[in-house]
Amino acid sequence: MIQCYSLAKTYGSTPALRDISLELPQGKIIGLLGPNGSGKTTLLKILAGVLQPTSGTALIGGIAPGPVTKAHTSYLPDRCTFDRAMRVDECVKMTADFFADFDTLRAQSMLADLEIPMHAKLKTLSKGTLEKVQLILAMSRQADLYLLDEPIGGVDPAARDYILRTVIENHRPGSTVLISTHLIHDVEPILDGFAFVAGGVVIMSGDAGHAREEHGKSLDEIFRDIFRTAGYRAPTNEGGLY
């Protein structure tokens, strides 16, 4: 589903991605895992067609990110892109207008289940509720690829559980889900595969189950060991931050 070859992105003289070469299969939930500032958001933006790489190649289903791939890719940014003065129902309508594969009835049903008022303005919602609204909109598309940037960052544990459950239950069968996060311990139970990212490079990737079996440790523990050996600051989940 996703192929990256020697992918690099710089902002001025600052490299965000250095040399990303990665192939990710179809039909799996995959974690793009690493600390803040490691290049995860930049990689997702390139795959979503929001940014252009400085060099190298990124392909989705063999096609470079653009209008064709955007029609089949559901992208959840790491921050709200809607006008906060908009109402929830206006966000639903706007998303439906943009994407032919958007399931309005599913979105309305999920919002109703959470008792989120359709006429509430986004600026009146709590951070956790706003995160849920955005996730519902992203997961209500019948996409081939879901790109979710830090969907559980900054929300309480109960909201994290809801978000992860929503991902499992609502992605289209056979689709690929790529979840970017630094909260490895929280997201690990739903992952089929993983890619550890640090300093703009992929330092390890593969099947989650095979990695746990080979190392006799969780992905979270493997990641900490790699960072400790490499001299990086090891991650911690205290307060949901590093």
Question: 91-111, pLDDT tens digit by residue?
Answer: 999 999 999 999 999 999 999
What phi and psi values does residue 47 have, to the nearest 5 degrees? -65, -30
What does the alpha-carbon distance between residue 46 and residue 61 come to, in Å, rounded to a whole number? 14
- Residue 236 has a pLDDT of 36
Q: What is the pTM assigned to this prediction?
A: 0.90
- Residue 240 has a pLDDT of 26
What phi and psi values does residue 207 have, to the nearest 5 degrees? -80, 130
- Pair 44, 147: CB distance under 8 Å: yes
Tokens, residue 38? 């490691």
- Pair 159, 131: CB distance under 8 Å: yes
Please compute the mean of the pLDDT values over residues 43-71 and round it to a whole number.
95
- Residue 239 has a pLDDT of 29
Bridge partners (DSSP) of residue 181 are: 33
Decide if pLDDT at 174 tops 60: yes
Alpha helix ranges (H) inside the chain? 40-48, 67-70, 88-98, 104-113, 127-139, 157-170, 184-187, 208-215, 219-230
CA proximity to 34, closest of 158, 175, 149, 129: 149
pLDDT digits (tens, 9 = 90+) for 206-235: 999 999 999 999 999 999 888 776 555 433
pLDDT-derived band at 78 (thresholds 50, 70, 90) equals confident
CATH number of the domain that residue 35 is part of: 3.40.50.300
Number of independent structural domains in the chain = 1
**DSSP 8-state symbol, 240:** G
Tokens, residue 87? 């109402």
Decide if pLDDT at 55 tops 50: yes
Decide if pLDDT at 29 tops 50: yes
Bridge partners (DSSP) of residue 204 are: 196
- What range does the domain containing 52 cover? 2-240
Mode of pairing for the β-strands spanning 2-11 and 14-24 = antiparallel
What does the alpha-carbon distance between residue 98 and residue 114 come to, in Å, rounded to a whole number? 24
**DSSP 8-state symbol, 125:** S
- Residue 206 has a pLDDT of 94
- Pair 61, 10: CB distance under 8 Å: no
What does the alpha-carbon distance between residue 203 and residue 48 come to, in Å, rounded to a whole number? 22
pLDDT-derived band at 36 (thresholds 50, 70, 90) equals confident
DSSP 34-93: --TTSSHHHHHHHHHTSS--SEEEEEETTB-SSHHHHTTEEEE-SS--S-TTSBHHHHHH
- Pair 207, 193: CB distance under 8 Å: yes
